[in-house]
A and B are shown apart, each in its own frame.
Chain A
Amino acid sequence: MPNWPAKPSVVGGNTTRIDAPAMVTGAAKYSSDVQTSGWLYGMIYRSRWPAAHVTSVNVDKARQVPGIKAAVVEREGGRTVRFYGEELAAVAGVSEQACLDALRAISVEATPLPFVVKEEIAKDPDSPRVWPDAPNLADPSVKEQGDVDKAFAEAAAVVEGFFTTPVQIHHPLEPHGNTVSVTKDGVTCWASTQGIFSVREGLASYLDVSQEKVRVITDYMGGGFGAKFGPGAEGGLAARLSQAAGAPVKLMLTRFEQSLAVGNRPSSFQRIRLAANADGKLVAFDMDAYGTAGIGAGTASAGGGGGAGFPAPYIYTVPNIRVKQASVAVNAGEGRAFRAPGHPIASFGMESILDELAAKLKMDPVEIRLRNDSSQIRKREYEIGADRFGWKRKYKPPGSSPGPIKVGVGCGGATWGGGGRGSQAEAQINPDSSVEVRCGTQDLGTGTRTLVAVVAAEVFGLKPGQITVKIGDTRFPPSGASGGSTTAASVCPAIFDACTNALQKLQETAGIADARGANWAGACKKLGVNPLTAHGEWREGLSSRGVGGVQFAEVEVDTETGFVKARKILCVQDCGLVVNKLTCETQIQGGIIMGLGYALYEERVMDSTTGFVLNPNLETYKLPNFADVPDIEIILMEMPERGVIGVGEPCTIPTASAVANAVANALGVRVSSLPITPARVLAALGKAAKPGGSV
């Protein structure tokens, strides 16, 4: 079985991203930057009704608009649309302006239908049905173990709470979209995607062409977070426009559309009861939860589904449990896998109620976690983190902070799978000593390109800068989609294998025992004219599954204005063997900042009367800006013996929980709904004026 070197020279170091120079100069070409010859601009026409029976979509006038080269309807004949933003037609033309004018020349005949967009209302059997044959509230999934009612009756302490989390929108900065060129020779698609092969498969199927005629390229892409698998409706429409126009079509979504139609993290409404013995050992957990994934469970992905379910009681061992979870449909865009699907939701409810229980028992929150979390890794992380954070010094019982600006601390833990699976790669050694490594994977900003260079450099005894890395093309050996924090664990072993095989072949050809270092040039020269290539694939022994992670948060809350300021977040994170420290750490910081957004700012707001998303922009859907980001301290707990695992998701899971617990610790009362806005803080403090009231 292969092994990572015991004393690596490149792996585990701090190699800067090999594509960073291209990105900081604007030279990097993203799918949205592609300007292939003769390209046209594409745009989608979307439903303006949250529910309607559409009888006709007429694009004839759109075709006549100057500059328009093609206009297609999404499908012929009547259909029912079920959310504001559903795709109805698309146009392609010589400019964005021509497309805008063309969209306004499209006419639609439709009969509006009743709709519902709020989960609490949709649950009611009398509310309008999103799908005709099924009630909005699905039958719950039920999990039971032990005797919950007996355990609650006998417990020393019982707490109850109702926790809610909002629909969160991925909002990768590069929108969804593709540049697609369909000719008689085949299809080329420059996709902004997390899975080039998923786009290839989807387009081939949609266009009914053979897969080997479809090439997908993703040289650079501007973020996905789980929302970008498959060609999407926008990819299919771009392809049809290209066919109709006889020219490549670049169809990128606008931020408005990103807010409607390309996925989200489902909401949650969690009623939880938790009970423990006097010593803090949990004995019973009872949950009744629902949430919405819009019109459906959404697209399942490598990283997990887009449905509204989530693991409970998350990371804690409880002998008696009853968990009922149900999905409720509303007339809004579908959920899709979003960075650790289900886990931030699970963590928020569980970590919040656990702190309530700790308060009731007058137990230290870290203490109660150590008592009930069976993960040795996380126990170690809590000890290390508590020490570095100064937990013993900083923790005070809830609400003890004096003055109007109250300070509090909180914590929470994470679990995630990660791990790798099938990936293939090819290494090529040229007679002039240069090296090229090819793999059909993609870099979402996660640093995959750099990891390939690092692993190849390690094997060949070269520097990462000496490796030419080619990724993001379905012409390269296939690799999986980038989701579930599986990319590093899938790709790195495959690169290791390919390079090891190439090195072996080189040594055999050159008749040298060790071709690395001073021998490299000479060995390569012996190849003669042709380069040497070797294939490789993922193998056991270089990766594994299962990580933890804990986070501590310190906040200050202005009890007069409700304003929450995150002061510090400390994270202790394990992820097995760290292939490249620099980029791993950046990823962890990124996850924490995304978790902070979930905690304090982000919320998709639906309007009941119109059925519209009220904040389809980055002005009122709020992402953390520079000044919102607190001090972040990371302790990376290396476990190289476990091989490569993956860290992109665990690092975002417990942030909101830690922050929410810190707020509750500061105030002495809990805000049990995310995001924790000034409005919610003041309401929890009983200071907000009641409707109709004043001072």
Chain B
Amino acid sequence: MNSFQYVSPHTVDSAVSLVTDHGRFLAGGIDMLGEMKEYIASPRVLVDVKKLPATRAVTPGKIWTIGANVTISEIEQHGELKRVFPGLQQAAAEVGSPQIRNVATVGGNLAQHSRCWYYRHRDIQCLKRGGNTCYARQGENRYHSLFTGNPCISPVVSNLAIALAALDAKVIVRRGKDEVALTVPDFYAKAWDNPEAHHSLGPTDLILRVQIPDDGRTCAYKQISEKASFDWALVSCAAAAKVDGNKLSKVRVVLGAVAPVPYQVPAAHDYLEGKELSDDVATHASEIILKDAVALDHNGYKVPIAQALIRRTLKQLVG
């Protein structure tokens, strides 16, 4: 890592002032320190946000509030949260390892950077790092996107983002002097258009909390990795719906690790609205969702996995 100054402010105002354009926020540290050790990021100052007020609590309610510094472990082990948002708990349980979950935060998980192995290589200046080329496009792209809006094909890797998107959660961000509430699609929108973006946050934007409406829907999350644990998802899927017997309403189905953003197709939600779930219905929904998928040289296997996960996640909703 390069040399840097370290500061641990007690107010959000200080944090936002101190980070400047040469600094970075430090939460759990897994992503930040990982990038710094490869000199992919070399901030002059690290602003530790863990002591900021009102960022550590999970508060149930009609709208649940989860502070940005709530750890993934805390999400995973929160009994009431598991009951109300089982898919969010399942997504949290698959993040990294217990050691990572004990320090990684909700905010950090959402804001984490690409895991593309070209992007993460210390000596490759790829498109996302301001260079000219996406090396993955013609190269080793087995882990990359089926859907792309721009030449960078690295997919979003946050598990929580997929579940939160299905739950219509909002991310409350301090931007300049204001607090803005971003839907999850808006939180990632910039990554769809801009190859250098991992999400829509500016360098001094700070995630404060996440809000999730408890609107009587249930949710589920599944992922497939190469290993049984501690492995990035090849494909992940979150679904949420109001369930009445086998009938679904207010449905969301979101795919992860297949696009720079949590991927959802409104037409699939429209199709599923009011339907009795069956294998055929689930299959048809997956066809709608995957309609625009374009396989690269080495990631075509993600299509059948996505199909299977959509079916299985929907099935898990109805129990």
Contacts and interface: CB of A to CB of B under 8 A. Distances in A.
A563 B118 contact: no
Contact of A677 (B226, B229, B302): B226
B287 interface: yes
Contact of B292 (A687, A692, A694): A694
Interface in A546-589: 558, 560-563, 565
Contacts of A679: 142, 234, 298-299, 301
A683 interface: yes
A682 B304 contact: yes
A297 to B, nearest CB: 27
A97 B1 CA distance: 8
Given A678-B234, A694-B292, A627 B229 contact: yes
Interface stretch (A180-188, A221-229, A618-626): A618-626
Nearest to A626: B229
A257 interface: no
Contacts of A608: 139
Interface string A56-83: 0000000000000000000000000000
Given A601-B226, A605-B140, A678 B290 contact: no
B297 interface: yes
A690 B228 contact: no
B293 A694 contact: yes
B64 interface: no
Nearest to B230: A625
A171 to B, nearest CB: 15
A628 B229 CA distance: 8
Interface in B1-23: 1, 3
Contacts of A619: 232
Which of B290, B293, B295 counts the most chain A CB atoms within 10 A?
B295
A38 interface: no
B135 A561 contact: no
B229 A678 contact: no
Given A612-B121, A695-B287, A688 B300 contact: yes
B135 A607 contact: yes
Contacts of B290: 694-695
A562 B118 contact: no
A687 to B, nearest CB: 4
B305 A682 contact: yes
A689 B121 contact: no
A628 B228 contact: yes
A261 to B, nearest CB: 15
Contacts of B227: 601, 622, 624-625, 627-628
Interface in A670-695: 677-679, 682-683, 687-695
A377 to B, nearest CB: 35
A688 B292 contact: no
Contact of A614 (B118, B299, B300, B303): B118
A609 interface: yes
Contact of A607 (B1, B139, B287, B309): B139
Interface in B67-103: none
Contacts of A565: 228
B63 interface: no
A564 B124 CA distance: 33
A563 B227 CA distance: 8
B234 A627 contact: no
B52 to A, nearest CB: 28
Interface residues of B, number: 42
A155 interface: no
Interface string B205-247: 0000000000000000000101111111010000000000000
Contacts of B303: 688-689, 694-695
A66 to B, nearest CB: 11
Contacts of B301: 562, 678-679, 682-683, 687-689
Contact of A694 (B294, B297, B308): B294
Contact of B305 (A678, A694, A695): A678
B120 to A, nearest CB: 9
Interface string B46-71: 00000000000000000000000000
B167 interface: no
Interface in B131-176: 135, 138-140, 142, 146
A614 B229 contact: no
A561 B305 contact: yes
Which of A100, A625, A695 counts the most chain B CB atoms within 10 A?
A695
A277 interface: no
Contacts of B304: 560-562, 682, 687-689
Contacts of B302: 689
B300 A625 contact: no
B280 interface: no
B300 A627 contact: no
B296 interface: yes
Contacts of A628: 227-229
Contacts of A607: 118, 135, 139-140
Contacts of B232: 619
Nearest to A404: B308
A48 interface: yes
Contacts of A100: 1
Interface string A263-284: 0000000000000000000000
A120 to B, nearest CB: 14
A690 B295 contact: yes
Nearest to A623: B227
Contact of B123 (A48, A678, A689): A48
Contacts of B300: 683, 688-691, 693
Contacts of A210: none
B305 A615 contact: no
Contact of A563 (B3, B123, B224, B229): B224
B1 A694 contact: no
Contacts of B294: 692-694
B230 to A, nearest CB: 5
Nearest to A686: B304
Interface in B252-302: 287, 290-302
A558 B304 CA distance: 11
Given A607-B135, A688-B304, A694 B229 contact: no
Contacts of A614: 117-118, 121, 140
A20 B170 CA distance: 52
A610 interface: yes
B291 A695 contact: yes
Nearest to B308: A560
Nearest to B223: A561
Which of A48, A565, A688 counts the most chain B CB atoms within 10 A?
A688
A562 B305 contact: yes
B99 to A, nearest CB: 12
B123 A612 contact: yes
Contact of A610 (B124, B292, B308): B124
Interface in A593-613: 600-601, 605, 607-610, 612
5 tightest A-B contacts by CB? Answer: A689-B300, A560-B308, A627-B228, A689-B295, A688-B300
Interface of B: 1, 3, 117-118, 121, 123-124, 135, 138-140, 142, 146, 224, 226-232, 234, 287, 290-305, 307-309
6 contacts: A601-B227, A610-B123, A682-B304, A683-B301, A691-B295, A693-B300
Given A560-B308, A608-B139, A689-B300, 14 more contacts: A97-B1, A561-B224, A561-B309, A601-B226, A622-B227, A627-B228, A689-B295, A689-B301, A689-B304, A693-B300, A694-B293, A694-B295, A694-B303, A695-B291
Interface of A: 48, 84, 97, 100-101, 558, 560-563, 565, 600-601, 605, 607-610, 612, 614-615, 619-620, 622, 624-628, 677-679, 682-683, 687-695
